[in-house]
A and B are shown apart, each in its own frame.
Chain A
Amino acid sequence: MIRHHLPALLVVVPLGTGLALPLLATLSSRLAWPATVAAGAITAALAVAGVFQVLAGGPVHYAVGGWPPPWGIELVLDPLSAFVAAVVAAVSTCSLAYAGGLDDPALRGRLGGGPALCLLLLAAMMGIVVTGDLFNLFVFLEVAALATYALIGAGGGRALLASFRYVILGSLGASFYLLGVGLLYALTGTLNMADLAARLPAAEASRLVPVAVGLIVMGLGIKMGVAPLHGWLPDAYTYAPPAVVALLAPVATKVAAYALARILFSVLGVSFVLDASVLGGALAWLGAGSILVGGIMALRQDDLRRLLAYSSVSQMGYIVLGIGLATANSLAGAYLHILNHALMKGCLFFVAGAAAQRLGGTALADLRRMHRLMPVTTACLVVAALSMVGIPPAGGFFSKWYLLLGAVESGHWVFAGVILAGGLLAVVYMFRVLEHVCLEPRAADDHGGGHARVGRKDASPAVLLPLVVLAVGIVAAGIFNASIVNGLLRLAASVGVG
């Protein structure tokens, strides 16, 4: 029963819990966060079970409401969607636990509105990942966006403006996407991805296909926050409540990247991306530009959260570059980076949120002495920063390694150079943070032995636990990357290629 309905349950569990949450919160408001985390954990467990089910028995197709595709909505778990679903659900569970532990006043509404919106966002993201229908994907994109607007705005003050910016740009992105899907529907008469893939070759001569694809890429590009379409992202990540950023930053943009890869390789096919159009090249350049622009902008920031936001722009560039190159290794790297970046960016934003709470701010100047005040948090920061820089065995190195192999073996030396340069930019901006966090400038003749001990005020265990889980995950994802790549991502990368 669970096996059969698994794709639907990935959406239904968080959605149902989210809707029931206000009711539960009227009984006892203290139950809201535990119920939220439990729903996330169940979703994650189901998603991981989904991965094994796909590995054992091949893709799982599910017709919603019993209406067979292409008329009804189809949910599909294949290696790629199962992998991304597991990443999104597992990392989000940590984010939800962290958000509960942080007990952000912005999300402390009487009816459990904050956690309910978080679950709505999770449900929508899972929906984007498992759906096999282009219009249904739009619906989930909008559900996710609506939840996000409210969650960002919950910060009040400047967060309201950031939220408004995202409303404008996000709606623009969704409209582009919808327009593109509309054109494809007009050309082929279907919205089901598999069906569309079968019918598209007949319509490929039409000049409207590139237009439709361009619109879709533009729309999803805004959602991904790749430069130069990233205008909404830095403010949103800087001013939204820390608990919200902890949920948004690791996975929300990745889900859009997944949607892009899904449409490119399952609907259009790799031959269209690489041979029949300039799409692959254009995406690769877009990604390369984003790596550099995001990295350079990150150098100039004096606030940790803003710095991390631009770093996200840079890191999303890696994923887009890998998708654009579309070789087996570069796709493996891009998909692996979805996991690695979710882990490390989650970890870093968790640190930023904890520091904001304990040290009163996330300006780099506020973080002085953090290594003595918050040693465990600092240790996690160091692990995540080294992963961002690309020091093995942290996971971040390995996604770049596969991307680099993909660029070198296809002779794209410029992109290989950009991948490496992005790592060097990360060295500069991450070590700048570490310098502030770990070093305390002193006079030359002062050996410092007599320094007074400072009282520790590290974050509470409820906050540290998800943080440490992610930090350990970063290293584990690095050490066992070959199992993930060989077992799952090679299959995922072959979607639409064979």
Chain B
Amino acid sequence: MGEATVSLLPAAAVLPALAAATLILFSGRRPNLREAWSLGAAVLQSWAVIAMIPAALAGGALELRLVELSPGVSLALRADALGLVFAALSSVLWLLTTLYSIGYVRALDEHAQTRYFFCFAVCVGAAVGVALSANLLTFFLFYELLTVATYPLVVHKETPEAIRAGRVYLGYTLGAGTALLAGVAVTYVAAGTLEFRPGGLFSGDTAAGTIWLVFALLGLGVGVKAAVIPLHAWLPLAMIAPTPVSALLHAVAVVKAGVFGTLRVVGYVLGPDALAASGAWLVLAWIAAATIVLASLAALLQDNLKRLLAFSTVSQLSYIVLGAALATTGSLTGAVQHMVNHGTLKITLFFCAGAIYVATGRERVSELAGLGRRLPVTMGVFAVAALGLAGVPPAAGFLSKWYLIGGAVEAGFWPAVVVYLSSSLLNLAYFVPIVIAAFFRPLRGGDDLEEPSLMMLVPLVLTATAGVLLGLAPDVPVAFLSLAATAAADMLGGR
């Protein structure tokens, strides 16, 4: 960990979205102005985040302490390599999602658009806040804000089904928030501080019982958003939300906040050493391994496309959790990088699902046969992203998997290697039939179908391009691979 430099940039990364949220609320009657606030904030935020990367790569994170929240604990932001990966991912994808959202909600003439864009902005602000939090209390603050701001988006449709899904969502996430809060309090009392520190907060002579207690409480807290089985049930239900919400929040911001939290807890609160010494890593590793396999199997059984993608997300998130549990240089580099790669490819798939829905009204896997001929761009992009996620080059999935598998070998934990490889096969098993059916089976009805508006096509082509670029040149234009390597070295720096 290098010297910290005080800077206003971290605030410039968090505040635009929150400020835009306020402006959105007062621009409800002028939709174009309202959406301009979102776009402007997304640009500003992306700039601020990317501007902080050089300092983090040089080893000196930018830092900003605002007001004291509790004696000795400030509301503080700190832009280290790990945080910037998540922040950059959320910011850039927010920009594209906003464009896509505009096309989506206007095509469907959705109600409550102001509430929709308001909550979206708050969510992204909160996600970047989670990313840049310098201590557990700040982390908790933004984490809870993210939970609450997502709720109106989950219940957006206001159907009885959506309202039920919203209750389940709140039950899981606020229940997890309660566990997280308990974990924060125990950490504060046991370690005397809440500031994230590479290598962990606990000294070597901390009682094993305390480590296990903190592990269990914080693990529950972040595990729900990371959707590890058996804490995953809210995620498939939350697919009732409008597709752009599923795309950004349930493939990137919210669920990544969970896996990001796992990485933070492993690397900066408990520390890889304490995790290894207590044996807690083994529990985490097996839960993650089981999740990867079970969720992939569940995905095979889904007919609703978004639910299939949701189970695929559950599985892929645990790639990262497993990487965190193994805590080797390779597995951590791969885990951090997989946040970016999975995020980019999964958002592409959701964009495709939404585009298909807007263009054809179809949501089921069994209805996609032959669509490749009418929607060549959408389905072509879907194929590239789906195969990339399964680990087929050139899209980026293969690269992070390569690091993750290397890390598993490094750790000598062979079950992980088996799980990673078999999951890739399962990915192919549920994605390839969709692609084949779309391009090589006859279309049933709907000869007049055509591609959705450019407002939706451009973002999905862009995210797919980014997904491919991340595989070919992972350090251009944003230095994600270097950041991931720096973050991994940072987390293991306590050794």
Contact = CB atoms under 8 A, between A and B. Distances in A.
B185 interface: yes
Interface stretch (B43-51, B173-181, B201-209): B173-181
A450 interface: yes
B186 interface: yes
Contact of A439 (B70, B109, B155, B174): B155
Contacts of B140: 392
A449 B110 contact: yes
Contact of A447 (B111, B137, B145, B178): B111
Contacts of B75: 393, 479
A145 B119 CA distance: 45
A302 interface: no
B108 A447 contact: yes
B157 A424 contact: no
A405 interface: yes
Interface string B158-176: 1111010011001000110
Interface string A429-441: 0010001001111
| The 5 A-B residue pairs with the shortest CB-CB distance in the complex, in nearest-first order | A448-B111, A449-B109, A482-B68, A392-B141, A404-B185
B70 A401 contact: yes
B67 A482 contact: yes
B188 interface: yes
A405 B189 contact: yes
A493 B207 CA distance: 31
Interface string A416-430: 100010011001000
Interface string A359-376: 000000000000000000
A424 B181 CA distance: 12
B182 interface: yes
B476 interface: no
Nearest to B73: A482
Contacts of B155: 439
B174 A427 contact: yes
Nearest to B175: A424
A444 interface: yes
B70 A482 contact: yes
Contacts of B112: 448
B419 interface: no
B19 to A, nearest CB: 15
A398 B137 CA distance: 11
A449 B141 contact: no
A408 B189 contact: yes
A447 B110 contact: yes
Nearest to B28: A375
Contacts of A482: 67-71
B185 A408 contact: yes
A416 B182 CA distance: 8
A393 B185 CA distance: 16
Nearest to B109: A449
A471 to B, nearest CB: 14
A63 to B, nearest CB: 37
Contact of B68 (A390, A402, A427, A483): A483
Contact of B110 (A391, A393, A448): A448
A449 B108 contact: yes
B144 interface: yes
A338 interface: no
Nearest to A405: B185
A427 B182 CA distance: 16
A389 B166 CA distance: 16
A451 B111 contact: yes
Nearest to A427: B174
A398 B185 CA distance: 12
Interface in A338-357: none
B393 interface: no
Contacts of B4: none
Given A386-B148, A449-B109, 14 more contacts: A390-B181, A391-B145, A392-B69, A392-B137, A401-B70, A404-B181, A408-B182, A408-B189, A435-B163, A441-B160, A447-B157, A479-B75, A481-B69, A486-B68
Interface in B116-174: 137, 140-141, 144-145, 148, 152, 155, 157-161, 163, 166-167, 170, 174
Given A391-B144, A444-B157, A448-B158, A480 B189 contact: no
B185 A441 contact: no
A409 interface: yes
Nearest to B361: A445
A444 B159 contact: yes
Interface in B40-74: 67-71
Given A389-B174, A391-B145, A441-B160, A481 B182 contact: no
Highest count of chain B CB atoms <10 Å: which of A402, A447, A480: A447
B158 A442 contact: yes
A491 B158 CA distance: 49
Contact of A423 (B111, B141, B178): B178
16 contacts: A386-B148, A389-B174, A398-B69, A401-B181, A404-B185, A408-B189, A420-B178, A424-B174, A424-B178, A431-B167, A439-B163, A441-B160, A442-B157, A448-B112, A482-B70, A486-B68
A8 to B, nearest CB: 35
A405 B71 CA distance: 12
Contacts of A448: 110-112, 158
B275 to A, nearest CB: 22
B34 to A, nearest CB: 15
A434 to B, nearest CB: 9
A414 to B, nearest CB: 13
Nearest to A392: B141
A240 interface: no
A482 B158 CA distance: 39
A297 B170 CA distance: 21
A485 interface: yes
B165 to A, nearest CB: 12
Interface in B246-266: none
A224 B228 CA distance: 44
B370 to A, nearest CB: 24
A443 interface: yes
A166 B326 CA distance: 63
B114 to A, nearest CB: 10
Highest count of chain A CB atoms <10 Å: which of B67, B152, B157: B157
Given A391-B145, A481-B69, A441 B163 contact: yes
B185 A401 contact: yes
A486 B74 CA distance: 13
A447 B109 contact: yes
A375 to B, nearest CB: 9
Contacts of B157: 442, 444, 447
B182 A404 contact: yes
A443 B189 contact: no
A485 B72 CA distance: 12
A482 B182 CA distance: 20
Contact of A409 (B145, B182, B189): B189
Given A391-B145, A447-B109, A438 B152 contact: yes
Interface string A442-476: 11100111110000000000000000000000000
